[in-house]
């Protein structure tokens, strides 16, 4: 019988040095897949994981895992030959030796533990965005990938598109000059946020493994307000609108400007509480100057983020009537010393506000067919990389060496919102993953309860706050303390 103890024992052996290569990469190791196809398993297949697996259906889908079998029924029906599981650890234990790649599309808080375990078992990993729930987890996946040399891809599918590549080529060719200011936005959230924890006791559906849904997060009683899908609006499980969309919207900015760690960040928002992200946010990052490129300098730059219906002020050259949400996702505005560049989400449809159309040669690799936010092309580029040897692999563009540091930027924006009651510009030491200007005695003041009613024509308010030690809270936000029974591999 497979037990959690057996799984952990076998995982420890894998972490100690067992590396299972796909059989189509090195003859004689691992299994022999039919027609040299990869054997792929999916974890979290009721939502976005379903189309991700459809995008990989050129390969063998051999295992499907989801804590909610009612929500996952459509994917089960799509791949009837795949073995079904509610616990990914049991799936890894039973069919791990047959597996080449793992697709992960669970709630944010369980991305890292599944991905890290798979990587230490020598499995290639495709993981939905945001890559992780905490900055420490992002750093861990970055380093584990470098150690085990597996093929990886974060699920920000616009990253494989031609839009971001064209933006990079224009900016690196000096078409809009030096950039010291960039704005990015989305209209999300389109799910409830700013919520308070429900008090009613609800029976767990028989089709749902609630304890496994909670995973490494602090336990709480079940309520249908948490899952499926609405988990994005709860701090313990998701990262709100910023975490959901910034991995799409900020991607061309991070790429084109060759951003690393910001040095400063500050945020503000609508009412925030201890349980749930706010309805709207603004965040400002400051990045130091980077090495100049042959045709353009890379000076200090400020990157501004807006969500929840907030947008930057419209520049003078922007034609009246221009819809900044025309693609329904978001967009970017690069303010250059020579021109201003406007794009849709992910850098698609770039255009200069001057009306000039640059004539710039293509210098970056294109993924065939990836001309918009379509499923399949991003996944297939990962499949291609999985089938190449580590020594000769053409890495996916959103591999964890790129996606890990980029995701740290995204999660730092989330922290700026959670720490706004400190009323200061936060100074960030990226290499050491810490803020340098939060004192030992500073406190956060966060709403714990908020209600409003009218009686006899008069408004009544009941708002309560909790006071938290800032340093202790920040330590937990950066590196979560996992629930008993759940742990990550050590940082390499």
State the Cα–Cα distance between residues 5 and 9, nearest whole angstrom: 6
Determine the Cα–Cα distance for residues 383 and 378; give it in Å rounded to an integer.
9
Closest to 415 in 3D by CA, of 231, 285, 228: 285
334 contact partners, CB below 8 Å, separation of at least 6: 167, 171, 176, 179, 182, 253, 256, 340, 341, 342, 343
**How far is it, in rounded angstroms, from Cα 219 to Cα 125?**
27
Residue 197 pLDDT greater than 80, yes or no: yes
39 within 8 A of 29, measured Cβ to Cβ: no
Q: Directed axis angle between helix 400-418 and helix 240-249, to 10°? A: 140
CA angle, corner 181, sides to 179 and 185, nearest 5?
A: 125
Note whether 347 and 332 are within 8 A (CB).
yes
Which segments of 218-337 are extended strands (E)?
264-269, 281-287, 301-307, 331-336
Q: Nearest CA to 296 among 176, 167, 174?
A: 174
First to last CA, the chain: 32
Cβ contacts of residue 476 below 8 Å, gap of 6+? none
Q: What pLDDT is stored for residue 5 in this prediction?
A: 41
What pLDDT sits at residue 396?
Answer: 97
Question: For residues 332 and 245, what is the distance between their CA atoms, to the nearest angstrom?
Answer: 12
- Contact assessment for residue 217 and residue 236, using Cβ atoms and an 8 Å cutoff: yes
Q: Any idea of the CA torsion for 381, 386, 389, 393, to the nearest 10 degrees?
A: 20
Model confidence pLDDT, tens digit, residues 412-448 = 999 999 999 999 999 999 999 999 999 999 999 999 9
Q: In Å, how far are 165, 206, 215, 237, 239 from 219, measured between CA atoms?
A: 43, 19, 8, 11, 18
Predicted confidence (pLDDT) per residue in 459-472, tens digit: 888 999 999 999 99
Q: Which two tokens stand for residue 321?
A: 């009537």
Q: For 7-31, how does the pLDDT look when each residue is reduced to its tens digit (9 = 90+)? A: 444 443 333 332 233 333 332 233 4
pLDDT at 35: 57
Does the pTM exceed 0.85?
yes
> What pLDDT does residue 254 have?
98
Q: β-strand 458-469 against 443-455: which pairing, if any?
A: antiparallel
Per-residue pLDDT tens for 208-219?
999 999 999 999
Q: What is the DSSP string of 459-485?
A: EEEEEEEEEEEHHHHHHHHHS--PPTT
Closest CA to 447 of 196, 223, 268, 266: 196
Angle at 301 between CA 284 and CA 439, to 5 degrees: 50
Helix (H) or strand (E) holding 89: helix 88-95
Strand partners, 333: 183, 342
| Per-residue pLDDT at 193 exceeds 70 | yes
Distance CA 1, CA 384 (A): 36
Average pLDDT over residues 383-409: 97
- Tokens in use for 125? 């990993």
The tens digit of pLDDT for each residue in 29-51 reads: 334 444 589 999 999 999 999 99
**How far is Cα 384 from Cα 390, in angstroms, rounded to an integer?**
12
> Which of these, 231, 160, 223, lies nearest to 192 by C-alpha position?
231
Residues 433 and 139: their CA atoms lie apart, in Å, by 9
Is the pLDDT score of 128 beyond 80? yes
Question: What is the tens place of the pLDDT at every residue in 274-329?
Answer: 999 999 999 999 999 999 999 999 999 999 999 999 999 999 999 999 999 999 99
Q: What is the pLDDT of residues 76-98, one digit of tens each?
A: 999 999 999 999 999 999 999 99
The band of 452, judged by pLDDT with boundaries at 50, 70 and 90, is confident
**Mean pLDDT value across residues 463-484:** 97
Per-residue confidence at 229, pLDDT binned at 50, 70, 90? confident
Q: Please check whether residue 178 is in contact with residue 296, taking contact to mean a CB–CB distance below 8 angstroms.
A: yes
């Amino acid at each position: 019988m497979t037990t959690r103890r057996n799984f952990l024992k076998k995982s420890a052996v894998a972490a100690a040095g067992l590396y299972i290569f796909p059989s189509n990469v090195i003859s004689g190791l691992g299994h022999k897949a039919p027609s040299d196809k990869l054997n792929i398993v999916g974890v979290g297949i009721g939502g976005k994981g379903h189309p991700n697996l459809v995008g990989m259906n050129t390969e063998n889908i051999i295992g499907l895992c989801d804590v909610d079998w009612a929500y996952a029924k459509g994917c089960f029906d799509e791949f009837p030959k795949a073995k079904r599981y509610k616990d990914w650890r049991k799936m890894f234990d039973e069919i791990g030796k047959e597996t080449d790649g793992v697709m992960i599309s669970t709630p944010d808080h369980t991305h890292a533990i599944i991905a890290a375990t798979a990587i230490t078992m020598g499995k290639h990993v495709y993981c939905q965005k945001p890559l992780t729930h905490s900055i420490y987890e992002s750093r861990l996946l970055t380093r584990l990938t470098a150690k085990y040399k597996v093929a990886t891809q974060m699920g920000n599918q616009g990253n494989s598109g031609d839009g971001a590549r064209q933006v990079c080529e224009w900016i690196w060719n000096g078409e809009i000059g030096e950039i010291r200011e960039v704005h990015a936005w989305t209209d999300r959230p389109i799910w409830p946020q700013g919520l308070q924890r429900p008090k009613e006791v609800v029976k767990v559906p028989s089709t749902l493994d609630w304890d496994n849904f909670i995973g490494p997060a602090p336990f709480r009683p079940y309520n249908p307000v948490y899952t499926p899908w609405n988990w994005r609006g709860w701090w313990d499980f998701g990262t709100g609108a910023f975490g959901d969309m910034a991995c799409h919207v900020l991607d061309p900015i991070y790429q084109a400007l060759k951003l690393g760690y910001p040095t400063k960040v500050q945020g503000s928002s609508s009412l925030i509480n201890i349980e749930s992200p706010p309805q709207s946010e603004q965040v400002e990052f400051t990045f130091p100057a980077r090495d100049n490129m042959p045709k353009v300098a890379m000076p200090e730059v400020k990157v501004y983020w807006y969500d929840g219906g907030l947008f930057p002020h419209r520049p003078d050259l922007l034609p009246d009537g221009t819809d900044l949400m025309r693609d329904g996702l978001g967009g970017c505005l690069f303010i250059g010393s020579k021109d201003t560049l406007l794009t849709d989400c992910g850098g698609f449809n770039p255009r200069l506000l001057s009306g000039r159309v640059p004539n710039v040669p293509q210098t970056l690799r294109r993924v065939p067919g990836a001309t918009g936010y379509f499923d399949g092309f991003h996944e297939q580029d990962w499949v291609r990389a999985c089938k190449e040897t580590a020594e000769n692999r053409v890495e996916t563009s959103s591999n964890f060496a790129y996606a890990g540091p980029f995701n740290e930027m995204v999660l730092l924006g989330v922290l700026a919102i959670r720490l706004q009651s400190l009323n200061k510009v936060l100074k960030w030491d990226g290499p050491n993953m810490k803020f340098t200007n939060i004192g030992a005695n500073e406190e956060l003041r966060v709403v714990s309860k908020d209600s409003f009613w009218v009686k006899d024509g008069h408004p009544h308010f009941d708002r309560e706050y909790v006071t938290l030690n800032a340093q202790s809270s920040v330590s937990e936000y950066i590196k979560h303390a996992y629930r008993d029974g759940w742990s990550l591999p050590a940082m390499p």
